[in-house]
């Protein structure tokens, strides 16, 4: 293959990814009610294919989660779009992101907030986030949020997470008041489950 052929092949692949990204915006996000210009611009300007294994790049814009290996997944595009829409990030936010094998959501969220810290879900219990966050986003579905995350959220702070109950995952939002966190499920949607945030086993009779 000549240098010209290689360049042409690269340009064709880039063009195909750009087309797929635009189709994602128009056929998945807009049709599902995600129309906030900041979110569409962020997702339209970030190459999702850079965050998945090379063998899966051609399918990275389809409406499903992408396996990353070791039981980790990159959530479907609509999941991240809905998370960002419900989070309503502001440049005044001190934000914390709980990640699960991918920096894609961090790359989307970072330009939309004042500061962003990220902690892998496997390290939440050990690291114990510092605290004072006005926004926490959990990139996945939890059976139960650890108390360390609730403590890390500032009073009147908000949280966006997936919740899993009896095998069904839902997107949920919450706000902390008087030291307590109340969560409200807002949509049933397929979100990768985080086994690290499973509920502790409890005795039953």
Dump pLDDT digits (tens) for 108-164: 999 999 999 999 999 986 777 888 999 999 999 999 999 999 999 999 999 999 999
pLDDT at 129: 81
Segment 38-57 shows an average pLDDT of 96
- pLDDT higher than threshold 60 for residue 5: no
Residue that the structure tokens 């064709």 belong to: 12
Give the C-alpha separation, 170 to 191, whole Å. Answer: 7
Q: Is the pLDDT of residue 26 over 70?
A: yes
How far apart (Å, rounded) are the C-alpha atoms in residues 26 and 28?
A: 6
Q: For 3-197, CATH number?
A: 3.40.50.150
DSSP state of 193: B
Cβ atoms of 140 and 117 within 8 Å: the answer is: no
Q: What distance in Å separates the CA atoms of residue 14 and residue 104, rounded to the nearest whole number?
A: 18
Q: What is the mean pLDDT of residues 42-63?
A: 96
Asked if residue 6 has pLDDT above 70, the reply is no
Mean of pLDDT values over 58-78: 96
* Dihedral sign (CA 106, 107, 112, 116): positive
pLDDT value at residue 181: 94
């Amino acid at each position: 293959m000549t240098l010209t052929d290689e360049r042409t092949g690269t340009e064709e692949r880039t063009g195909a990814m750009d087309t797929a990204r635009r189709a994602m915006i128009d056929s998945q996000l807009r049709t599902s009610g995600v129309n906030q210009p900041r979110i569409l611009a962020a997702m339209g300007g970030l190459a999702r294919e850079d965050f998945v294994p090379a063998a899966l790049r051609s399918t990275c814009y389809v409406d499903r989660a992408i396996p990353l290996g070791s039981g980790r997944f990159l959530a479907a595009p609509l999941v991240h779009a809905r998370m960002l829409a419900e989070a309503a990030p502001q440049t005044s936010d001190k934000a914390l992101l709980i990640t699960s094998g991918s920096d894609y959501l961090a790359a989307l969220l970072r330009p939309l907030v004042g500061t962003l810290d990220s902690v892998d879900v496997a390290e939440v219990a050990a690291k114990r986030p510092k605290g004072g966050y006005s926004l926490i986003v959990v990139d996945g579905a939890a059976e139960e949020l650890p108390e360390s995350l609730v403590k890390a959220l500032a009073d009147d702070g908000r949280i966006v997470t997936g919740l899993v109950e009896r095998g069904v995952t839902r997107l949920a939002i919450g706000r902390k008041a008087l030291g307590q966190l109340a969560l409200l499920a807002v949509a049933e949607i397929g979100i990768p489950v985080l086994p690290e945030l499973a509920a502790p086993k409890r005795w039953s009779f």
